[in-house]
Amino acid sequence: MPGPPLNEPGVFTVKEVHTEFEKLLGDRRHMGLRNLIGDAFLEPRNPFQNKRRKAKRWVGAAFGVSFLGLLIISYFHLR
């Protein structure tokens, strides 16, 4: 009876499989809900610079308009 094929790995323990699985998941930092939300609200990521991303202009404008509306509502409510 011939041995196992050369390109097929041998038998792994549960701990070895778990370690490899965690390593593969750790390499997927570019995916996920947090990055999806970040890409929607922040400037595009520059892979050559490791610095914080700034908010997109429309996010700043929406925050400013919302804050201004809150100030107006609170002024007339307290008046």
Q: Where are the domains positioned within the chain? A: 14-78
The predicted pLDDT at position 49 comes to 86
* Token representation of residue 46: 């520059």
Q: Would you mind telling me the total number of residues written for the chain in this entry? A: 79
Q: How far apart are CA 26 and CA 32, in angstroms?
A: 12
Output the tens digit of pLDDT for each of the chain's 79 residues. Answer: 666 556 666 677 889 888 888 888 777 767 778 888 888 999 988 888 888 889 999 999 999 999 999 999 999 988 7
Give the DSSP H/E element, type plus range, for residue 73.
helix 57-78
The predicted pLDDT at position 28 comes to 73
The predicted pLDDT at position 16 comes to 86
In degrees rounded to 5, what are phi and psi of residue 41? Answer: -105, -15
Is pTM beyond 0.75 here? no
In degrees rounded to 5, what are phi and psi of residue 55? Answer: -70, 150
